[in-house]
Amino acid sequence: MAYRIVARPLAALMLAGAAGGACAQADNWPQKPIRLIVPLAAGGPSDTIARIVAAKLTEVLGQNVLVDNRAGASGIIGTEIAAKAPPDGYTLALVSNTLTINPALVKKMPFDAERDLVAVSQLTNTPYLLTVHRSLPVKTVREFIALAKARPGELNHASGGSGTGPHLAIELFAQRTGIKIVQIVYKGGGPAMIDFLAGQTQFYLANMVTALQQVRGGRIRALAVSSLARSPVAPEIPTIHESGLANFDEAAQQGVVGPAAMPKDIVNKLHAALVTTMRAPEIVKRFADEGSSTVASSPDEYRGLIRRDTAKWRDFVQKAGIQPE
């Protein structure tokens, strides 16, 4: 009995000490450079967004935020590194739609996003741009669909990787229109765009951040954007929705996550810094000029988006008969 009387206050003291340590850690954070892992290839949309955000976040936090590209396995390798890193707020990841798509396509995931990661904030929302090489004789979505139906299995499209957001979105497009297409897979959006510009592939559902400047340079032709509403930065380009595929609405979503056990106070402090970063007028303009909208959602909102999209893509993959690998 005497042991129980002594042990309970001791346990309470231990818990209080742990809580106090976490608060002290959050108060002092960050005291050294922060590593922001980009689990996709350098030169692609995620890399571009990460470097813009990291530069401004460095100013806001007063510590260097260093981008670390760890591409491979459709984002799984880099994201796993972040999931298994010490939960001290010094290793984060900038993730994309692959976070919610991979569980539907990979049988044995090395981590569980809901269990092993903490959502901090969605940063941007960027519609895709359905583009064709100028050698392809189509100028509208309807003309493209008609050509694809006339030449089933002949038209090939560039892909920054199997299981990426653009890949699943174009598969959804193909399913809804009844066309048969061929995917040519590259190690990231950058290499995919290079070969597309060279005419090695015929069409590309590309992120607007990388595609719009090529469209304006006359090297490729834009048919439509994938959002429900036209993009403010390119209002002359129609949407897939208004081109006949009702309610088609897909976009690239970028956000920041960290190891699940990160102290809540650090998550909140990081979130506040990201909100300041994403609402800075120069950042809003920079992304708007490239076709992206800034979001800066709360951790709960971003967690909900991850959960909903994970369920959506699992359902789509099952109905489409795509076999996980």
- The tens digit of pLDDT for each residue in 148-158 reads 999 999 999 99
List, for residues 60-85, the tens digit of each pLDDT value. Answer: 999 999 999 999 888 999 999 999 99
Task: Give the model's pLDDT for residue 25.
Answer: 64
How large is the C-alpha radius of gyration of the chain? 22
Q: How confident is the model at residue 6 (pLDDT cuts 50, 70, 90)?
A: very low
Q: Domains along the chain?
A: 8-126+252-320 (3.40.190.150), 127-225 (3.40.190.10)
Assigned token pair, 118:
């903490």
Q: Is the pLDDT of residue 187 over 90?
A: no
Name which of 104-113, 173-182, 208-217 the model is least confident about: 208-217
Name which of 38-42, 88-92, 142-146 the model is least confident about: 38-42
Average predicted confidence (pLDDT) for the chain: 90
Name which of 20-29, 111-120, 181-190 the model is least confident about: 20-29
Task: Give the model's pLDDT for residue 180.
Answer: 96
List, for residues 242-268, the tens digit of each pLDDT value. Answer: 999 999 999 999 999 999 999 999 999
List, for residues 200-249, the tens digit of each pLDDT value. Answer: 999 999 988 779 889 999 999 999 999 999 998 899 999 999 999 999 99
